[in-house]
Amino acid sequence: MALLHTRRLLAAPRLAAAAARASSWWSHVEMGPPDPILGVTEAFKRDTNSKKMNLGVGAYRDDNGKPYVLNCVRKAEAMIASKKMDKEYLPIAGLADFTRASAELALGENSEAFKSGRYVTVQGISGTGSLRIGANFLQRFFKSSRDVYLPKPSWGNHTPIFRDAGMQLQAYRYYDPKTCSLDFSGAMDDISKIPEKSIILLHACAHNPTGVDPRQEQWKELAALVKKRNLLVYFDMAYQGFASGDINRDAWAVRHFIEQGINVVLSQSYAKNMGLYGERAGAFTVVCSDAEEAKRVESQLKILIRPMYSNPPLNGARIASIILNTPDLRKEWLVEVKGMADRIISMRTQLVSNLKKEGSSHNWQHITDQIGMFCFTGLKPEQVERLTKEFSIYMTKDGRISVAGVTSGNVGYLAHAIHQVTK
């Protein structure tokens, strides 16, 4: 009898907990899937191999594999500290010096759209936040279609950003896994069939995740087709300057489309090209038909932003604004961003060279043909698994690597490992 009483006492808390779960407001909430890139990082952290490599994270590292803060950023921070500036709220649209400088950086100082003032730029919470402002604006004011056409593949966050804003996601061919390069004919064919007055998203440079960009002649053909189909173009430009090392070359597609009379919308980020990852500095721009239209659009963007986050963060915008608007610091930034881009390009070249030294008979030219932080290696999931298990080299299952995680000290080890799983 005493034993039965004891069992009842032990069971009571469990029954109470189960009853509490059943009556909870959130009992129906299921555990969400882990983020694939964060999962890679967690597995990397647990690995005790001294040669381990994390090629999953999309953040720049120096040649010692360490996070890098630009000298021009340090100088801008010192200027801000010396002025003992306040911490007051920014206006809803953000820091005016920052938004103007961002528009000039993207559109070009000689751009007719920029000089005539037929654009509006608002500050956003880096690239993601700027994309979400744009998605919400399209959901409310683009009456022709709810369809947003993304390249296959595209940055993983594009889908939830537009989906959660109430847009419908569609796709067009972009990457050819057989050649690890652009499927230009497939892209042109699919885009030619997109219904008129739909929205198409284009990566301005350093396509994420493939690193595959159209050539300028191909961009011209794309612009002509987009204009013919009367599509609204949404450019995502997260890597201006960081891709090629040249801010004008990386913005070429955006500027060409506008010159062809295509009024685009555009998101920018300063995470990569200024290393302001945690500062969350970005911008969203709408190119309009005239300055009066731009004023109306700006008024509605402010109404959208106000209940989302009221106003954007101050510090990152101040840093970027000081760099862009101070001639000496801007000059230094252009040198530093080219230095980062050049290191990435050098690692691509060294990886291919080391693969050849290992005796690999595969054609690895796509590694040097691709551009920007990411590289689609062409490795199969089972090869990626072997790299992780046998060599402690971590990347996403699709074979995408962040070239920023490669250094002169580990590129040989990486080449050796890739050769071992591909020979």
Non-local (6+) Cβ contacts of 113 within 8 A are 107, 119, 258, 287
Cα separation of 39 and 32, whole Å?
13
Which H or E run contains 71? Answer: helix 71-82
Q: Does the annotation mark 227 as catalytic?
A: no
Q: Does the annotation mark 236 as catalytic?
A: yes
Select from 393, 376, 396 the least CA-distant residue to 37.
Answer: 396
> Which DSSP category does 54 fall into?
E
Catalytic residue among 250, 272, 333, 364: 272
Cα separation of 224 and 259, whole Å?
11
Select from 31, 239, 270 the least CA-distant residue to 155.
Answer: 239
> Which DSSP category does 344 fall into?
H
3-state secondary structure of 93: coil
Q: Per the structure block, which two tokens stand in for 97?
A: 């010096």
Catalytic residue among 183, 236, 250, 333: 236
Cα separation of 101 and 274, whole Å?
14
Catalytic residue among 155, 219, 333, 364: 155
Q: Does the annotation mark 342 as catalytic?
A: no
SS3 content of the chain, % helix, strand, coil (to 5): 50, 15, 35
Cα torsion angle, 222, 207, 245, 125, sign: positive
3-state secondary structure of 214: coil
Which H or E run contains 318? Answer: helix 315-325
Opening angle at CA 58, ends 125 and 269, nearest 5: 30
How far from 419 is each of 356, 422, 423, CA to CA, in Å? 9, 5, 6
Cα separation of 419 and 423, whole Å?
6
Non-local (6+) Cβ contacts of 410 within 8 A are 51, 53, 65
Number of residues assigned to the chain: 423
Q: How many CB atoms lie within 10 A of CB 59?
A: 15
Which H or E run contains 124? Answer: strand 119-125
For the chain, report the end-to-end CA distance as a whole number of angstroms.
Answer: 71
Cα separation of 234 and 398, whole Å?
26
Residues annotated as catalytic (active site), given as ranges:
155, 236, 272
